[in-house]
């Protein structure tokens, strides 16, 4: 059923996390509709679909709402099996895909990359943006603090370039896992490098350049070309308003069968319990609250309602998120 249901991607175009999903959809030829969002809060379009999640992107497929790019990618793998496959079926390479994901997201790679935002960037001179990002990350975004952290971040990012240059890309392969074309492994690894290379003044050429790391820079250029070509092939996605998006969601069905709470889960929660769910690394000041639908080692699903009162299910990964009993009943966020 999911393959006939419209995918709605909530994002803003220069979000490096959102690019992971856009690249994946285009490379697989999966059509989607976009609901463009502002880079800072508030995002009333997101609140309207029943989630307080403050990070971008979010994907809605029918009345199932998916948070976090790691979960979104895994769900798209499952829900759209008939489209072109770009993930590997080899267990060893699957492990590398997962390790590359962990390295970029959990291993501190993107956190260090974000510390290289040029202080001359107009957004960093906007107090609304810096205040928003301080709420998002829990750290100071003043120019002084950014400049103070830059040298350390550069060292770590150079080490990341060196790692790929001397290991996975050292044999001259085109793609990170030696595949015939760009794959999921490339998406998992490339997004912080692509973001920094295409961000003016982020990388000082005297320290990190194509001369120092020719294989990494060539890989990024190759991927950028392939991603651009796949986007042209797929065509420009339809753009809808928040009101149009919530109307589509409200008249849709669920695309996933309702799950259960895994027996023996250490939290000791039961189906129907009122819980709060939130990410632990960033965006942690914004918590979803609802009735527990299902819980396992991979995912938590809660029931919520749209602004119009339609029941939806909000999905989040278990890893990197906290689930806590909120007591009482009801499904209001």
The CATH number linked to 200 is 1.20.1050.10
Q: 168, 199, 223 — which closes off a domain?
A: 223
How far apart CA 254 and CA 46 sit, in angstroms, is: 18
Indicate if 190 and 214 belong to the same structural domain. yes
**Which pLDDT value is given to residue 333?**
35
**Which pLDDT value is given to residue 327?**
79
> How does pLDDT run along the chain (333 residues), one tens digit per residue?
566 799 999 999 999 999 999 999 999 999 999 999 999 999 999 999 999 999 999 999 999 999 999 999 999 999 999 999 999 999 999 999 999 999 999 999 999 999 999 988 898 999 999 999 999 999 999 989 999 999 999 999 999 999 999 999 999 999 999 999 999 999 999 999 999 999 999 999 999 999 999 999 999 999 999 999 999 999 999 999 999 999 999 999 999 999 999 999 999 999 999 999 999 999 999 999 999 999 999 999 999 999 999 999 999 999 999 999 997 544 333
Indicate if 209 and 246 belong to the same structural domain. no
**Which pLDDT value is given to residue 74?**
97
Indicate if 60 and 31 belong to the same structural domain. yes
CB-based contacts of 259: which residues, under 8 Å, 6+ apart?
293, 294, 296, 299, 301
Domain total for the chain?
2
Q: What are phi and psi of 290, to 5 degrees?
A: -175, -175
Indicate if 67 and 100 belong to the same structural domain. no
**Which pLDDT value is given to residue 15?**
97
Q: 17 and 57 in contact (C-beta within 8 Å)?
A: yes
**Which pLDDT value is given to residue 4?**
79
Indicate if 47 and 154 belong to the same structural domain. no
**Which pLDDT value is given to residue 168?**
98
How far apart CA 167 and CA 252 sit, in angstroms, is: 47
Q: Which domain holds residue 288?
A: 2-83+237-325
Q: Which two tokens stand for residue 185?
A: 């492994």
How far apart CA 217 and CA 219 sit, in angstroms, is: 5
The CATH number linked to 67 is 3.40.30.110
How far apart CA 190 and CA 197 sit, in angstroms, is: 10
Instruction: Give a yes or no: residue 330 inside a domain.
Output: no
Find the helix packing angle between 214-234 and 16-28, rounded to 10°: 60
Indicate if 123 and 150 belong to the same structural domain. yes
261 closest CA partner among 272, 248, 246, 277: 272
Indicate if 75 and 108 belong to the same structural domain. no
Indicate if 70 and 103 belong to the same structural domain. no
- Whether the CA torsion 267, 268, 270, 273 is positive or negative: it is negative
Beta sheet of 238-239, edge-to-edge order: 238-239, 33-36, 7-11, 58-61, 64-67, 311-317, 299-305, 288-295, 274-279, 321-325
Q: Which helix (H) or strand (E) holds 35?
A: strand 33-36
Q: 200, 223, 246 — which closes off a domain?
A: 223
Instruction: Give a yes or no: residue 332 inside a domain.
Output: no
């Amino acid at each position: 059923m999911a393959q006939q249901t419209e995918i709605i991607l909530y994002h803003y175009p220069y979000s490096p996390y959102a690019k992971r999903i856009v690249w994946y959809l285009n490379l697989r030829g999966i059509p989607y509709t976009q609901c463009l969002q502002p880079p800072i809060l508030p995002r009333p379009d997101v609140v309207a679909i029943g989630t307080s999640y403050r990070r971008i992107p979010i994907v809605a497929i029918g009345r199932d709402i998916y948070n976090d790019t790691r979960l979104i990618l895994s769900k798209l793998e499952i829900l759209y099996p008939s489209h072109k496959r770009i993930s590997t079926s080899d267990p060893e390479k699957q492990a590398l895909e997962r390790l590359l994901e962990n390295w970029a997201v959990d291993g501190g790679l993107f956190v260090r990359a974000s510390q290289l935002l040029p202080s001359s960037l107009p957004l960093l001179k906007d107090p609304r943006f810096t205040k928003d990002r301080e709420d998002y990350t829990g750290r100071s975004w003043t120019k002084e603090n950014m400049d103070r952290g830059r040298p350390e971040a550069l060292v770590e990012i150079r080490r990341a370039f060196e790692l790929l240059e001397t290991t996975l890309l050292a044999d001259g392969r085109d793609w990170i896992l030696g595949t015939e074309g760009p794959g999921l492994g490339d998406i998992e690894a490339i997004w912080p490098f692509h973001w920094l290379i295409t961000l003016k003044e982020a990388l000082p050429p005297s320290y990190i350049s194509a001369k120092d790391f020719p294989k990494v820079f060539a890989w990024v250029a190759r991927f950028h070309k392939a991603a651009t070509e796949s986007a042209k092939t797929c065509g420009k996605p339809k753009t809808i308003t928040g009101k149009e998006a919530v109307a589509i969601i409200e008249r849709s069905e669920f695309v996933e069968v309702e799950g259960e709470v895994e027996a023996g889960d250490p939290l000791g929660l039961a189906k129907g319990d009122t819980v709060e769910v939130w990410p632990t690394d960033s965006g942690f000041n914004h918590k979803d609250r609802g009735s527990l639908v299902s819980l396992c080692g991979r995912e938590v699903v809660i029931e919520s309602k749209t602004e119009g009162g339609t029941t939806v299910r909000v999905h989040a990964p278990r890893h990197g998120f906290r689930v806590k009993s909120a007591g009482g009943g009801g499904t209001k966020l």
